Amino acid sequence: MPIVKLKDKTQHFQFDEAIKMLRTNVEFAGENVQAVCITSCLPNEGKSSIVARLAESMAQAGKKVVLIDADLRKSVLLGRYIVEGAELKGLSHFLTGQGTISECLCQTDYPTLQMIFSGPDVPNPAELLGGKRFTALIEALRKNYDYVLIDTPPLGSVIDAAIVSRQCDGVALVIASGEVSYKFAQQVKAQLEMSDCKIIGVIMNKVNMESGKGYYGKYYGKYYGRD
Ligand SMILES: Nc1ncnc2c1ncn2[C@@H]1O[C@H](COP(=O)(O)OP(=O)(O)O)[C@@H](O)[C@H]1O
Ligand SMILES: [Mg+2]
């Protein structure tokens, strides 16, 4: 199995605290919330960063976690890791019948955290994610992990996240502060509700805590439970 290491391990206190809060909220969402996907309205709202930190945080708390990069259109997760060892296969290999689940899994620095990267580009991501092999993958992973976390593309651009959410018990919506109109957020929420997956929360990202501070002064995520 290939081994992957995160390139940038910079930690920020406020961000870490917000991630811990998010982890606790996912854990308290109930025992039947095991497969969770994360999406947003627009690109660059922070989905991939947040879901990767959430996965690490869960692993640090002793949970067995698999993180899947289901953004088959603009994958960034792989670029944030250094890969060592065996040949790397990804989700698109599995979905097109070119790899087994175990061939697609990578081991991270955290003993209980494994990852599946997106793999090479495919012409029909939505179709593949809506197919039988994706359903079978999630079913199989559920048996082996406490949590299956899935990164997706923005739902305001493509339908993939709604398709993925059908296989999940919960979906979390990342909203970058000041970047998304209320109306747009409502439209995306309505789209998720149509896929019949519980919205377990909204994560407000890039909240400007104190103006006048540098880049990382903005590093903050806040979690609001839905109920
Ligand atoms: N809270 C934040 N404050 C400042 N920059 C952030 C924050 N969250 C994410 N970013 C940065 O924004 C960019 C996009 O984040 P990413 O997680 O790739 O978004 P997405 O997956 O939604 O497209 C990255 O460069 C990331 O480092
Ligand atoms: Mg992303």
Q: Find all residues with CB under 8 Å of 42, minimum gap 6, and list them.
A: 154, 156, 157, 176, 179, 180
Residues framing ligand 1 (Cβ under 6 A) = 40, 43-49, 76, 205-206, 218-220
Q: Output the CA 160–ligand 1 centroid distance in Å.
A: 20
Which ligand is located closest to the Cα atom of residue 40? 1
Distance (Å, whole) CA 72 – CA 124: 9
3-state secondary structure of 173: strand
Q: How many domains does the chain have?
A: 1
pTM above 0.85, yes or no: yes
Number of CB atoms found within 10 A of residue 150's CB: 28
Q: Which helix (H) or strand (E) holds 107?
A: strand 105-107
In which domain, by residue range, is 10 found?
3-225
Closest ligand 1 atom, CA of 218?
A: 3
Q: Going residue by residue through the chain (227 aa), what tens digit of pLDDT does each one get?
A: 888 888 877 777 788 888 998 999 899 988 899 999 999 999 999 999 999 999 999 999 999 999 999 999 988 888 888 888 778 899 999 999 999 999 999 999 999 999 999 999 999 999 999 999 999 999 999 999 999 999 999 999 999 999 999 999 999 999 998 899 999 999 999 999 988 888 998 998 888 766 544 444 344 444 444 44
Closest ligand 1 atom, CA of 174?
A: 22
Please check whether residue 128 is in contact with residue 134, taking contact to mean a CB–CB distance below 8 angstroms.
yes
Structure tokens at 104: 């697609």
3-state secondary structure of 38: strand
Name the residue at shortest CA distance from atom 15 of ligand 1.
Answer: 46
Q: Output the CA 212–ligand 2 centroid distance in Å.
A: 27
Return the CATH number at 22: 3.40.50.300
